[in-house]
Chains A and B, each alone.
Chain A
Amino acid sequence: MAETKELQAKDKVEVSTPAEQTKPGPVFTPNVDIFETDKEIIMLAEIPGVKAADLSIDLRDDILTLTGEVKPLNRPEEQDILIEYQFGRYYRQFTLAEVIDQSKIDAELNNGILRLTLPKAEKAMPRQIAVKAG
């Protein structure tokens, strides 16, 4: 295997949302990996600081929307010395080309990574239709 590369520091990417935000504060685009197998589409999204309860995954009309709320860890009495990143909400939308079986979507959140499994619908599979004699 090739020598491991070093991780590069990257600024979080701020998103320009389609609608204006009602709450103040920045909104970021999470980094994602998306890949598919024959049966499912899997998405891994980096959303550090988001608790499972504050995460919303919405799929409607083939548009998948991820929204994650982040609560500040700083206590009010703390004073900033060095601020290199900001925290804020996460927001990202995807248009899905495949038909997804909505009832079997599975989401798992672990150490700041969301793993979202979207099973493809079985409608493309050939089906045998039994003809009953009347």
Chain B
Amino acid sequence: MIIKRMFGYPNYGWRSAFDNLEQMRREMDRQFGQSAGQAYWPTHAGVFPLVNVTEDQDNFYIRSEIPGMESEEINISATGRNLTISGERKIASEGENVRYHRRERDEGKFSRAIALPSDIQVGQIEADYIDGILSIKIPKAEAAKPKQIAVR
């Protein structure tokens, strides 16, 4: 808790001690203006697109920033407890007579597989794509949901 107070960082739902550590590492990197941690502690799997996975009691949520696509161009498939996001981002040609100053955006194919921690209801996955962010809601299988057990 001291970490949170120290940096005055809004609490976006970090729970475990490990998350606090990770958060502190990012915060340190920011303070020192470099990504010193990356060399020995990668923050992501190195596969496009980068994803954030969260859960509540009933669902998993996967969110990913993939700007510049149309919703029909993103394919999502699921089996067992695995989910795959794939597609191809294209950058439309701007014609012959343009002179580029900067080109930082990339185009190309991508395919990302994500293994979820428990079984999912493959048939009831919902996905939407708003403002360049893909959000997928994945209901957990009944057996994977936490049960309240009454103590007599």
- Bound-state CA distance A51–B133 (Å) is 11
With CB as the reference atom, state the residue of chain A lying closest to B95: A37
Does B152 sit at the interface, judged by CB under 8 A? Answer: no
Take A73-B63, A82-B51 as given contacts and tell me if A111 and B129 are in contact as well, using a CB distance cutoff of 8 Å.
Answer: yes
Are A79 and B56 in contact, with the CB atoms below 8 A?
yes
Does B41 sit at the interface, judged by CB under 8 A? Answer: no
Are A85 and B69 in contact, with the CB atoms below 8 A?
no
Are B102 and A51 in contact, with the CB atoms below 8 A?
no
Query: How many A-B residue pairs lie within 8 Å, measured between CB atoms?
Result: 167
Are B12 and A112 in contact, with the CB atoms below 8 A?
no
Are B131 and A111 in contact, with the CB atoms below 8 A?
yes
Take A36-B101, A44-B105, A76-B13 as given contacts and tell me if A16 and B33 are in contact as well, using a CB distance cutoff of 8 Å.
Answer: yes
Take A7-B48, A83-B22, A112-B133 as given contacts and tell me if A36 and B109 are in contact as well, using a CB distance cutoff of 8 Å.
Answer: no
Q: Which residues of B contact A80 (CB under 8 A)?
A: 12-15, 19, 52-54
Are A32 and B105 in contact, with the CB atoms below 8 A?
yes
Does B132 sit at the interface, judged by CB under 8 A? Answer: yes
Q: Which residues of A contact B30 (CB under 8 A)?
A: 14, 26
Query: Interface code A1-41, partner B: CB below 8 Å = 1, 0 otherwise?
Result: 00011111111001010000000111000011111111000
Take A11-B35, A111-B68, A112-B65 as given contacts and tell me if A81 and B55 are in contact as well, using a CB distance cutoff of 8 Å.
Answer: yes
Are B56 and A6 in contact, with the CB atoms below 8 A?
no
Q: Which of A10, A37, A44, A112 has a CB less than 8 Å from the CB of B97? A: A37
- Bound-state CA distance A3–B111 (Å) is 16
Does A128 sit at the interface, judged by CB under 8 A? Answer: no
- Bound-state CA distance A87–B148 (Å) is 34
Take A11-B43, A73-B63, A111-B70 as given contacts and tell me if A32 and B108 are in contact as well, using a CB distance cutoff of 8 Å.
Answer: no
State the Cβ distance, B114 to closest chain A Cβ, in Å.
8
Are A7 and B100 in contact, with the CB atoms below 8 A?
no
Are A33 and B60 in contact, with the CB atoms below 8 A?
no
Q: Which residues of B contact A11 (CB under 8 A)?
A: 35, 38, 43-44, 50
Does B8 sit at the interface, judged by CB under 8 A? Answer: yes
Are A34 and B100 in contact, with the CB atoms below 8 A?
yes
* Pairs across A and B, CB under 8 Å, 21 listed: A4-B109, A7-B107, A8-B106, A9-B50, A10-B48, A11-B35, A11-B50, A38-B97, A48-B67, A49-B132, A74-B12, A77-B56, A78-B55, A79-B56, A80-B52, A80-B54, A81-B53, A84-B52, A111-B67, A111-B70, A112-B132
Q: Top 9 nearest A-B pairs by Cβ distance?
A: A112-B132, A112-B67, A48-B132, A84-B44, A31-B104, A78-B54, A84-B50, A48-B65, A7-B48
Interface residues, chain A, with chain B CB atoms under 8 Å away: 4-11, 14, 16, 24-26, 31-38, 42, 44, 46-51, 72-86, 109, 111-113
